[in-house]
Chain A
C-alpha cells in the first residue's frame, strides 16, 4: 500500500492529538490560574496552537479523502461519487453529519486560536481562563466525534467501487459557503460564553468583561448573520418555488441563537457604557451559546422532522443532549451561585432613556426567541402528551412576529438618538413627529404608487423601513456636523449601517411576502405568456448535463414591452447515481424584482408545465442581511477597543 492510503488514519491520529491538546488545555492552565502560576498559564496559547494545527491536519485529511475518491472511508462512500464535480467533492466533506461536526471543531479551533492571538492585552488570568473554557467546550465535541461520529471509519475490507453521491439537494454553490459561515457563527458564540464563565469563576463581575467580549460577540453575530442570509438565498434558488424562509426547525435552530446574540450585544453596550444590566448580560451570553448547542441538538438528533436532518441518529442525539445538559446546566448553576456577588444596578435611569430602549430591544428579541422556541418544540410535546398532532408554521409565526416587529421597528427608529439616563418625551416627540409623518407618506406612496393596492402589511413595513432609515441618516449627518466626517467613530458607522440593513430587510420582506405574481401554465416551444407586464417567451428546450446528472432546461427570453430584459435557463435534472429528479430554478435577478421560472413536467402533447413568478423586492432581504453583517464588522474596527487595550498594556507594564 502506498503512503496516501494511510491518509484517513493520519486524520484520525491528528484528531486524537487535537483531543489530547484540548484535554490538556482544559486542565493544566486552569490549575495554573488556581495557583496563580504564570509559566503554566502561559501554556494555554501554545496548547491552542497545537489543537488548531492538529484539527486542521485532520480536516485536511478528510478533504483529501473526498478529493481523491477514497471509498474505503464510509463517509466518502456514502456522500460522494467519482462523478461528483470537484468543488462539491470538497463541500461534501461537510455534507455528512460526521464531516459537519469535524467542521464545527475546525471552526472552534479557529476561534480559539484567533482569541489566543488577539487577546495578549487582557489580564493574564482572564485570558487563560477564557481559553480554558473554550477548551472545555472543545473536549466535549472532540469526544463526541471520536466516540460517536468518527468521519474516518473504514468500509474495509470490502469497500465499494463507487460512492452513493452527495444528496443532490446539497449540490449547489450555497453548500460551499453556507455551512462554514453558519458554523463559524454558531461556534463564535462560545467566545462571549467563555468570557461570561471566566468572569463568573474569577468573580470579576464588573464591566470589563463586557468591553473585552464585545468585539468577539460582534464578529460571531456577523458570521451568523451571513450564514443565515446565505442559507435563505440558497433555499430560494434550490427548492424550486422561491421560498426564502419556511420556519423549518433547522432555520429556527439558527434563528434562535441569532436573536439572543443580537439581544446580547445590545445589552453589552449598556453594560459597557453605563454599568447596568450586568447579571442580565451574563445570562444572555450563556443563553446565546446554549441556543447554538440546542440548535445543533435539534437538527442533528432527529427529535424534530426537518429537511436538514439528513443524518440523524437517536444515539448521537443522546450524546449531544448530554453535552447540552452539561454545558447549560453547569453554566447556569455557576451563574446561580455567583450572581449574588454582582452589585445591584446602582446606576439609575428613567422610563424614557437609552437604557430603557435597549431593554425594550432585549425584551422583544427574547420574546421572539420564546415564540420560536415554543413554536419549534411545542408540536412534539403536544403529540407526546397524547393531545394529537398539530403543526406550527408560517401563519402562526407570521402573525406573532408582526405583533413583535411593529413596536420593535418603531422603537429601533428612535433608539439611536435617545440620551442615556433620562430623556424628554417632549423633545423626542417634537424632533421626530415630522420624520414619522414623512415616513408614513413615503411608505404609502411607495406601495400605492408601485402596486396600486391598499395592502396594510406592505405599507406598514415600507413605512417603518423609511422611518428607521431616515432617522439613522439624520443621526449620521448630525454626528458628522459635530465631529466631522472623518472622526465619526467606526462603532457609530456600524450601528447606522446595521440598522439600515434591518430596515432594508424589513421593507423587502414585507413587499416580497405581499407582492408575488405567479402563474402556472402549459407552454409549447415558441409560446409567450404575460405576467405583470413581462412577456415570457419559451424559446427552446435544451439538453443540459454534467458528470453526475443529465437533464433539460427551458430557455426563456423575457421582454418588457418590446425591450428584452433577460434570458433565463430553468432546469430539471436527473441525478444518475441517486436517481432523483431536482428542479433547478432559473432566475433573472433585479434590484426591485426577480423573475423566477420553475420547470415542471412534460405533457403528452409535448408541452411543458412552467411556473412563472415575478417576485418584488426579494433581493432586499439578503441585501439587508449583508448590510447588517458589514455594519457589525465595521463596528469591530472601532478605535475604542484598540485605545482601551493600549491603556491596559500600559497598566500591565
Chain B
C-alpha cells in the first residue's frame, strides 16, 4: 500500500515537475500587477521605432522600458507613476495619450463642440416643428370661429333679403 502511495506521489511530483520546468519570462505577484503591466506596455510608445508600443517592439530600448515597467509595477508603483517616470525620461512622445493642457485640449474639444453645435441645430429644427404645429392648430381654431361668424353673417344677409 505504502509503496503504491509513494509511487503515485512520485508520479504526481514528476508530472508537476514537467509543468514547473518552464520558466515564466514575465512573472507577476498578483493578477492586478499583470493587468497594470499589460495596460502600460500597450500605452507606452517605443521612442526609436516607427509607430509601435513597447509591447510589440523588439528594439533594445523597448526591452529596457518593459523591464523597468515590470520592476516598477512589482515594487508597487501605480500606473500613473510609471507613466510619469517614462514621460519624464523620454518626453511626452513616450505615452500614446497626450496630457490635457492648453496646446492639446483641442483633441477633446473639437468633437465635443461639433456635437454641441449639431444638437443645437437639431433642437432648433424640432422646435420649429412644434411651434409650427401649434400655429397650425391656432389657425384651425381661428377658422372655426371665422366659419361660425361667416354663417351668422350669411344668415343675417339672407334674412335681410327676405325682408326686402
Chain A interface residues toward B at CB < 8 A: 239-241, 243, 246, 248-249, 305-307, 345, 348-351, 353, 356, 359-360, 363-364, 366-368, 370-371, 374-375, 378, 382, 385, 387-396, 399-400, 404, 422, 518-524, 526-530, 609
Shortest distance from the beta carbon of B10 to any chain A beta carbon, whole Å: 18
> Chain B residues with Cβ under 8 A from A527's Cβ?
18-19, 21-22
Given contacts A356-B126, A391-B45, contact A528 B51 (CB under 8 A): no
Given contacts A348-B128, A375-B107, A519-B24, contact A243 B56 (CB under 8 A): yes
Do B129 and A349 have beta carbons less than 8 Å apart? yes
Shortest distance from the beta carbon of B87 to any chain A beta carbon, whole Å: 10
9 tightest CB-CB pairs across the interface, nearest first?
Answer: A393-B96, A351-B126, A395-B97, A389-B93, A520-B25, A363-B118, A390-B98, A367-B111, A396-B97
Do A529 and B22 have beta carbons less than 8 Å apart? yes
- Interface positions of B from 86 to 113, Cβ below 8 Å from A: 91-98, 103-104, 106-108, 110-111
> Chain A residues with Cβ under 8 A from B133's Cβ?
348
> Chain A residues with Cβ under 8 A from B91's Cβ?
388-389
Do B126 and A382 have beta carbons less than 8 Å apart? no
Shortest distance from the beta carbon of B144 to any chain A beta carbon, whole Å: 23
Contact pick for A351, options B103, B118, B122, CB 8 Å: B122
- Cα A378 to Cα B110 in complex, Å, equals 12
Chain B interface residues toward A at CB < 8 A: 18-19, 21-26, 38, 42-43, 45, 50-51, 53, 55-56, 91-98, 103-104, 106-108, 110-111, 114-115, 118-119, 122-123, 125-126, 128-130, 132-133
> Chain A residues with Cβ under 8 A from B119's Cβ?
363
> Chain A residues with Cβ under 8 A from B50's Cβ?
305-307
Contact pick for A396, options B93, B96, B130, CB 8 Å: B96
Shortest distance from the beta carbon of A373 to any chain B beta carbon, whole Å: 9
Do B96 and A378 have beta carbons less than 8 Å apart? no
Nearest A-chain residue to B109, judged by Cβ: A374
- Cα A385 to Cα B106 in complex, Å, equals 14
Do B22 and A374 have beta carbons less than 8 Å apart? no
Contact pick for B118, options A248, A359, A371, A404, CB 8 Å: A359
Contact pick for A374, options B18, B24, B97, B110, CB 8 Å: B110
Do A399 and B103 have beta carbons less than 8 Å apart? no
Q: Name 15 A/B residue pairs within 8 A (Cβ), A-sorted.
A: A246-B51, A345-B125, A350-B126, A350-B129, A350-B130, A359-B122, A382-B104, A388-B91, A394-B53, A396-B96, A400-B111, A422-B129, A521-B23, A522-B25, A527-B19
Do A394 and B42 have beta carbons less than 8 Å apart? yes
Do A396 and B107 have beta carbons less than 8 Å apart? yes
Do A521 and B22 have beta carbons less than 8 Å apart? yes
Shortest distance from the beta carbon of B116 to any chain A beta carbon, whole Å: 10
Contact pick for A529, options B19, B42, B51, B104, CB 8 Å: B19
